[in-house]
Structure 1
Amino acid sequence: MRLNRQDGGGRQCISVTNNEVAADEQVALRKVGHRPGDPEWEKIGICDYITKPRLRAAITGKTPEGEDIDGDYKFTDEFPMAEGFEENAEFFTLTYETPVAVHHNLAFQRVAPLLWMRAGAEGSRIDGPPEQGWAVADTYGLLIDLDRSAEFCDAVDAREGLRIAYIVTDDDGRFQSVARRLPDSVEPIRLYESYLSNFRFSMGR
């Protein structure tokens, strides 16, 4: 964030962490019947209790209590921490989704952030299956009703800066038919075959 402030850059960062609870706190929580996943357990994990508040504080320049942060950033560009940064952050919880649920489009809301990040993590995001059968965001599009593919391709062609078109189908022939109609600058990705295959490969299966 400081480098972006110094040179007007647009650097991004993806940080992945668990929500581990300290060993002594785990013992105390278990004694009163709490287990991982319980709100009482998760709220004191390192991610929810430390990482998220610190990132929010750095960006806003405010403490969790809403007060200005004391002190200054030093060295190359000195400025008050209370100024914060012209940045933003999104927090997601990584969950396990069964291949069946993903394949049948029953886990879309939990998969949606991955599609957005794959397309560059910029601009608007498609958070749910579109009612009209397709949708186009700032950097990617999603087609779930192939009978509306002509409308979708027209919308993709009219949108500048689009990088990816996600096409939901089990039929490779229909996928290829839609893919051929897309601009050369737009990468077609078949869902959920590509999504599931990527995870199988990463697990060595």
Structure 2
Amino acid sequence: MTEGIAKLGAYNKKRDQWAIVFLKKKQKEQLNDGILVSRGRDTDGSLILEWNDDEEIDKEPKSMWVRDCHDASTYGTNLLSKFLPKRNFPFPKSLYAVEDVLKFYVGENKDALIVDFFSGSGTTLHAVNLLNAEDGGHRRCIMVTNNEVSESEAKVLTKQGYIPGDGEWEKLGIARYVTWPRTVCSIEGHDANGKPLKGNYIGSDIPMADGFKANAAYFKLGFLDKNAVALGRQFKELLPVLWMKANCIGPCPNLESDELPKMLVLSENKFAVLIDETYYSEFDAKLTEHPEIQTIYIITDSESAYREMIRSYEGKDCYQLYRDYLDNFRINTGR
């Protein structure tokens, strides 16, 4: 056709037939509206079409997208190998496919928090950092993954006498072998061997070797005994959780000593913890000196005492420990 909106597709030898590929009604409308634009004609006279990134596209994404940059082999598997040479991960997603999904849902929210509970190779965080680099955003991402090894690796390790938990086993798990190394390499701009990355991110021409202006922290999620928590014996282990609940501001604090202080007023992290409620007066005076504190934790078994102590902290996020923590993770047994 002279319009260039149809062409011959693949040839079926068994049926001795050619497939015909043509623009559907919706695509014709997008071409007329400038959402799809013609970049010339192919050798067979058909139009070469691209999405016009400057035009507003439907807010509801379709179930299937057909864009070269969404190819999982080239921009998933092959791209991952640039960061982690000779490390295998089955079917990583295209970096640019994930970035386009983020643009649909949080493109206009530059302070969004994205949570990926099945992070696998770490494509989501990588895409968040790339999107932030492109539009000056401050989006954050929390990735959660296990540290399982593949079935074939498990068989080899078992034959060698290793079991889950052994160092040789754990270092080949998804989190430690793929997810975290990719995160570090993409942020710092080098591969797992320390060599600067080659090439640019497509669409933005940002050099991969430049990395990203981003921070990342690694935490191992474990189980705590609820009775030990209730007795205040695992505060040191809970401190990263309190930091995350207080919006992950500044470097995650840690206690060098096992002996608990009476209170913590962490101005850099914008949260404070009253550990010994008998020191409330001193704690309250310190908070007056630090108006930047936005999150307050008070450890007490008394609901009435807790309510009395937080009366003057209007506009701040307050939590009673360890009740709020235990209630948050309690499984409802129906009894």
TM-score (norm 2): 0.57
What is the alpha-carbon distance in structure 2 between the residues aligned to residue 125 and residue 155 of structure 1?
Answer: 21
* Separation in 2, partners of 1:27, 1:132: 48
Partner of 2:177: 49
Matching residue of 1:62: 190
- Amino acid paired to 1:45: G
* Residue from 186, 190, 194 that aligns with 2:316: 186
Decide which of 189, 196, 203 is 2:326's aligned counterpart.
Answer: 196
User: What amino acid sits opposite 2:281 in the alignment?
Assistant: A
Gaps of 5+ in 1: none
- Return the alpha-carbon distance in structure 1 between the equivalents of residues 140 and 332 of structure 2: 29
Residue 7 of structure 1 and its aligned partner are, at CA, apart by 2.7
By percentage of residues, which structure has more helix?
1
User: In the TM superposition, what whole-angstrom CA distance separates every residue of 1:116-170 from its partner, at most 9, and x where no partner exists?
Assistant: 1111111144423785411122221111011221221222233244221111111
Q: 1:18 to 1:108 in 2, by over 3 A?
A: same
User: Within 2, Cα distance between the matches of 1:107 and 1:88?
Assistant: 27
CA contact (8 A) 1:126 1:135 kept: no
- Three-state SS of the structure 1 residue aligned to 2:143 is coil
Deviation at 1:95, TM superposition (A): 0.2
| 1:71-150 matched pairs, under 5 angstroms | 71-75=199-203, 77-128=204-255, 131-137=260-266, 138-150=269-281
Q: C-alpha distance in 2, partners of 1:106/1:37?
A: 25
Could you tell which deviates more after superposition, 1-10 or 17-26?
A: 1-10
The residue that corresponds to 1:26 in the other structure is 154
CA contact (8 A) 2:261 2:275 kept: no
Q: Would you tell me which structure has more strand in proportion to its own residues?
A: 2
Q: What stretches of structure 2 of length at least 5 have no aligned partner? A: 1-128
**Contact persistence 2:226–2:326 (CA under 8 A):** yes
Structure 1 length as normaliser, TM-score? 0.91
SS of 1:190's equivalent in the other structure is: strand
Aligned-partner SS, 1:52 = helix
Is the partner of 1:14 in helix, strand or coil?
A: strand
Q: Which amino acid aligns with 1:106?
A: R
Which letter does structure 1 place at the counterpart of 2:158? Answer: R
The structure with higher relative contact order (CA 8 Å, sep 6+) is: 1
Aligned length: 201
Deviates more, 1:115-124 or 1:101-110: 101-110
Q: Is the 8 A contact 1:21 1:45 kept in 2?
A: yes
Aligned partners of 2:199 and 2:186: how far apart in 1? 12
What percentage of aligned pairs have identical amino acids?
36
- 8 Å Cα contact 1:4-1:10 kept in structure 2: yes
1:37 to 159, 165, 185: 165
- The equivalent residue for 2:70 is none
Aligned to 2:130: 2
